[in-house]
Amino acid sequence: MKPFIVVADGFDKNLFEDLKNTTEFEVHPSSKITQDELKEMLPKINGLVIRSSTTITKEYLDLAPNLKYVIRAGAGTDNIDKASCQEVGVKVSNTPGANNNSAAEHAVALMMTVLRKTAWAHKTMSNGGWDKSKFTGNELANKKVGILGFGQIGQIVAKRIGGFDPEVQFFDPFQEGSDLSYVSKCDDLKKLFSESDIITIHTPLMDATRGIVNKELLSLMKPNAILINAARGGIVNEEDLFETLKEGKIRGAGFDVFATEPLEENSKLRTLENLVMTPHLGASTEEAQFRVGEMAVHQLKEFFINENLLNEVRV
């Protein structure tokens, strides 16, 4: 019997056609399904490709006795209960690196949006206004930028903003330094927050980083500083963020990720006038979608046809 493959959260159209045309597979004809549809199909699924919209819980695994392989089309796997997967013998992979440039560029876009107040200016223009005097912003040039997490995405951010002649410091216990002349390592997280004009977060969500950006760190930021998070929700304590922004203790923030996604309709964060929000768009470029899809298709073929497991992620 052919492995039954389901793609749950969307896929590049041409790559999905390639997957469906793989004679060794039976592929569900839609590349985007609802969670209710997914639950109905779980008992017969052998291979599952997800993005951020689907969370693989023990409940899902209990409904999927024939599931052998889950691919997270992206880097972060915090939406997969990897411990439960290991218990029942389900292999987990991601597509490392495919989203990196898109995520880094989105962080830079949020920086510029907050600094130059373009989102707010656009809103007033759409409502018929011309409030030029309200939207005096700040330059990125020559600013002190603090990067929390200096893995591949953090390093790309540092490269992308290099033309603005910044002074960049990073905090990351697992990175020793950088080849970029304007980048240095900071061993004190409090120092990073107190000295930077811009803080941008690029660390994964794990036990050690959950809620790491809290009231204490936020209180150390300069009054004119901004905070950017295009990494993972949960790294920043959102209650502390709300209070900090509501009281105007920092200039503003730009967030692409939230502790609960989709963000609740009645979330207090939606009421803030100094917070720019986007609905987890970091990897939402055509280029990134193609790269993650290409890797996922290759990994499915290697696993089910050649019995070769690529990019395994364990607890």
Write out the catalytic residue numbers.
232, 261, 280
Helix 152-160 / helix 100-116 crossing angle, nearest 10 deg: 50
Give the whole-angstrom CA distance, residue 127 versus residue 72: 40
Q: Mention every residue, 6+ apart, whose C-beta is less than 8 A from residue 248.
A: 274
* Structure tokens, 99: 């989203």
**What are the φ/ψ torsions at residue 63 (nearest 5 degrees)?**
-90, 0
3 state DSSP class of 112:
helix
Q: How far apart are the first and last CA of the chain?
A: 31
The CA-based dihedral angle spanning residues 270, 272, 273, 276, taken in that order and rounded to the nearest 10 degrees? -60
| Size (the chain), residues | 315
Give the burial class of 85: count Cβ atoms within 10 A of its Cβ; 0-12 exposed, 13-18 middle, 19 or more buried: buried
Chain Cα centroid distance, residue 43: 30
Closest to 313 (Cα-Cα) out of 91, 151, 122, 13 = 91
Closest to 53 (Cα-Cα) out of 19, 88, 79, 87 = 79
Give the whole-angstrom CA distance, residue 12 versus residue 292: 9
Give the whole-angstrom CA distance, residue 174 versus residue 206: 14
**What are the φ/ψ torsions at residue 205 (nearest 5 degrees)?**
-90, 120
Closest to 75 (Cα-Cα) out of 37, 102, 56, 39 = 102
